[in-house]
């Protein structure tokens, strides 16, 4: 692992032959001269790249558009290119100079950091080196067009859609918790040592991404503390006003946001149910464009937010059979418990495996239980803060919430979530274990107790 990180962080590191000896664009100031690429543009590029035979009959589908059917993705343009002769396909990701979903909803062409093209390529290479098949394989990059051609994992389905359809995946929570613990351990100074960890932090620096996240989740753009305009349905306004008026809580959450600049380990930074592809046998993680070094609670917290969203969403779907709603809410809480307990279990195993074997590393005087507590409360709070922007009737709504058609039902879901949010953000330290948190979620938003 040390050798892998040192090699990737080295300025002379070259990709293997499948990249045609290209380099990741060295500057973080990516060119902003490329307009939106059409399906014809993508087909022309793929034909020129020799990925498929010259006589391939290509079909291009815009996975970000209506022709893809049910799809989720807020930022970039994504295409599937299939050779109808061989039935082989690839995914082509076009890193846009604006947030796609926001432009479609409001017409606004905001300009997110284009250098995230670099983040994705670097992070995917690192993830595949450490965990092999955890991320799709990259076949080709084009820095001028900001295109990434990668493995098509369309045989898997998006976890968010699967959960909304009532599908379950036993042991997934334990597996994901173990993965996050491994990522935290192998990319931190506990395994790498201080010098190599600092070097990796510099190479995988994503402070620009962190600034936008701090504003959205913890600071001036946090929807929980906005009293300038009403963003929740009337049933939820009372709780929203209490949160917006709580100055001490605002200050505490901003202090938590400042922890986002801690560089403890490599993070995906957008690990939600929308960026996980899964079936009964495997799961993959996609969209590493915001990846970089950050706090250990980041990915655990974002995943917590996804499970909370799905849990409360069942309150707003009166036409779904009760037994299905009860089963899915139970599953969500089981997955949350498994996520955190799997994280702690894996940390214990990693410390037991390596402690005493390499002198001088940070692991020698550290406790996995203390490390776990270090992330536990912060991850729970981030879970609340990262879920909050997905609940109002904005373009940011996830599929779980977008399914709720009646505004009264949406207002009820929002109120129950805000009641959970208020208690957790103020009283989080009262939870001794993840099961305590799950009990609160059930008491506030369980279908069987409403």
The predicted-structure confidence for 79-109, as pLDDT tens digits, reads as follows 999 999 999 999 999 887 655 554 555 555 5
What is the predicted pLDDT for the residue at 71? Answer: 59
What is the predicted pLDDT for the residue at 410? Answer: 94
Tokens of 444: 């506030």
Which among 137-146, 212-221, 284-293, 306-315 has the top mean pLDDT? 306-315
What is the predicted pLDDT for the residue at 361? Answer: 56
* pLDDT for residue 6 is more than 80: no
Residue among 379, 365, 390 nearest 425 (CA): 379
What is the predicted pLDDT for the residue at 25? Answer: 38
* pLDDT for residue 380 is more than 60: yes
Residue among 325, 279, 328, 271 nearest 303 (CA): 271
* pLDDT for residue 254 is more than 70: yes
What is the predicted pLDDT for the residue at 108? Answer: 54
Average pLDDT for 36-62:
92
Between residues 225 and 73, the one the model is more confident about = 225
Residues 6+ apart with CB under 8 A from 284: 133, 134, 135, 136, 153, 156, 276, 277, 278
* pLDDT for residue 13 is more than 90: no
Tokens of 180: 């996050």
CA–CA separation, 34 vs 450, rounded Å? 52
Average pLDDT for 169-175:
91
What is the predicted pLDDT for the residue at 440? Answer: 98
Give helix 407-427 / helix 368-387 axis angle, nearest 10°: 150
Average pLDDT for 285-289:
93
- SS3 sequence, the chain? CHHHHHHHHCCCCCCCHHHCCCCCCCCCCCCCCCCCCCHHHHHHHHHHHCCCCCCCCEEEEECCCHHHCCCCCCCCEEEEEEECCCCCEEEEEECCCCCHHHHHHHCCCCCCCCCHHHHHHHHHHHHHHHHCCCCCCEEEEECCCCEEEEECCCCCEEHHHHHHCCCCCCCHHHHHHHHHHHHHHHCCHHHHCHHHHHHHHHHCCCHHHHHHHHHHHHCCCCHHHCCCCCCCCHHHHHHHHHHHCCHHHHHHHHHHHHHHHCCCEEECCCCCHHHEEECCCCEEECCCCCCEEECCHHHHHHHHHHHHHHHHHHHHCCCCCHHHHHHHHHHHHHHHHHHHHHHHHHHHHHHHHHCCCCCCCHHHHCCHHHHHHHHHHHHHHHHHHHHHHHCCCCCCCCHHHHCCCCHHHHHHHHHHHHHHHHHHHHHHHHCCCHHHHHHHHHHHHCHHHC
Tokens of 157: 């389905």
Tokens of 68: 């893809």
CA atoms within 13 A on the CB side of 168: 14
> Quick one: what percent of the chain has pLDDT higher than 90?
56
Asked if the domains 2-151 and 157-449 are classified in one and the same CATH topology, the answer is no
* pLDDT for residue 239 is more than 70: yes
Least confident range from 20-24, 334-338, 395-399: namely 20-24
* pLDDT for residue 14 is more than 60: no
pLDDT band at residue 117 using 50, 70 and 90 as cut-offs: confident
Burial category of 237 from C-beta neighbours within 10 Å (exposed 0-12, middle 13-18, buried 19 and up): middle
First-last CA distance in the chain: 50
Which CATH code, of 3.20.20.20, 3.40.50.10860, 3.90.1200.10, 3.40.50.2300, is assigned to 157-449? 3.90.1200.10
pTM over 0.85: yes
What is the predicted pLDDT for the residue at 260? Answer: 93
Q: Which superfamily does 2-151 belong to?
A: Phosphorylase Kinase; domain 1 (3.30.200.20)
Average pLDDT for 199-214:
87
Domain boundaries, the chain: 2-151, 157-449
Least confident range from 184-193, 338-347, 372-381: namely 184-193
pLDDT digits (tens, 9 = 90+) for 212-233: 888 889 988 888 987 666 678 8
CA–CA separation, 223 vs 232, rounded Å? 9
pLDDT band at residue 11 using 50, 70 and 90 as cut-offs: very low
Q: What is the dihedral of CA 140, 142, 146, 147, to 10 degrees?
A: -30
């Amino acid at each position: 692992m040390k050798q892998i990180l040192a090699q990737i962080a080295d300025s002379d590191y070259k990709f293997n032959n499948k990249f045609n000896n290209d380099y990741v664009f060295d500057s973080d100031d990516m060119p902003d001269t490329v307009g939106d690429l059409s399906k014809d543009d993508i087909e022309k590029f793929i034909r020129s790249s020799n990925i498929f035979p010259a006589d391939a009959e290509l079909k291009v589908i815009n996975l970000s558009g209506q022709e893809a059917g049910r799809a989720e993705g807020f930022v970039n343009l994504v295409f599937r290119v299939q050779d109808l002769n061989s039935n082989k396909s690839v995914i082509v990701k076009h890193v846009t100079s604006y947030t796609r979903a926001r432009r479609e909803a409001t017409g606004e062409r905001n300009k997110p950091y284009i250098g995230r093209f670099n983040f994705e390529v670097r992070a995917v290479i690192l993830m595949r080196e450490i965990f092999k098949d955890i991320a799709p394989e990259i076949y080709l990059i084009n820095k001028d067009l900001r295109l990434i051609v990668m493995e098509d994992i369309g045989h898997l389905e998006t976890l968010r859609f699967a959960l909304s359809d009532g599908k379950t995946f036993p042991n997934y929570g334990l597996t994901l918790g173990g993965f996050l613990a491994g990522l935290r351990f192998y990319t931190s100074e506990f395994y790498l040592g201080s010098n190599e960890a600092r070097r990796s932090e510099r190479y995988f620096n994503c402070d620009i991404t962190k600034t936008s996240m701090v504003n959205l989740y913890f600071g001036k753009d946090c929807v929980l503390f906005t009293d300038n305009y009403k963003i929740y349905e009337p049933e939820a306004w009372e709780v929203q006003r209490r949160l917006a008026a709580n100055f001490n809580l605002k200050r505490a959450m901003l202090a938590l946001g400042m922890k986002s600049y801690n560089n403890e380990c490599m993070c995906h930074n957008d690990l939600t149910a929308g960026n996980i592809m899964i079936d009964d046998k495997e799961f993959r993680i996609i969209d590493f464009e915001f990846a970089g070094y950050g706090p250990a609670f980041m990915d655990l917290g974002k995943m917590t937010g996804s499970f909370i969203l799905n849990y409360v969403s069942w309150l707003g779907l009166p036409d779904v059979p009760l037994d299905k709603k009860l089963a899915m809410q139970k599953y969500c809480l089981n997955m949350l418990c498994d996520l955190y307990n799997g994280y702690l279990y894996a940390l214990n195993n990693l410390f037991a495996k390596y402690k005493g074997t390499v002198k001088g590393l940070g692991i020698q005087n550290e406790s996995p239980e203390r490390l776990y507590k270090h992330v536990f409360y912060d991850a729970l709070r981030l879970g609340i803060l990262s879920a909050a922007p997905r609940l109002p009737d904005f373009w940011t709504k996830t599929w779980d919430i977008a399914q709720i058609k009646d505004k009264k039902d949406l207002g009820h879901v929002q109120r129950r979530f805000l009641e959970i949010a208020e208690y957790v953000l103020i009283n989080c330290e009262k939870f001794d274990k993840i099961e305590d948190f799950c009990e609160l979620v059930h008491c506030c938003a369980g279908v069987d107790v409403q």
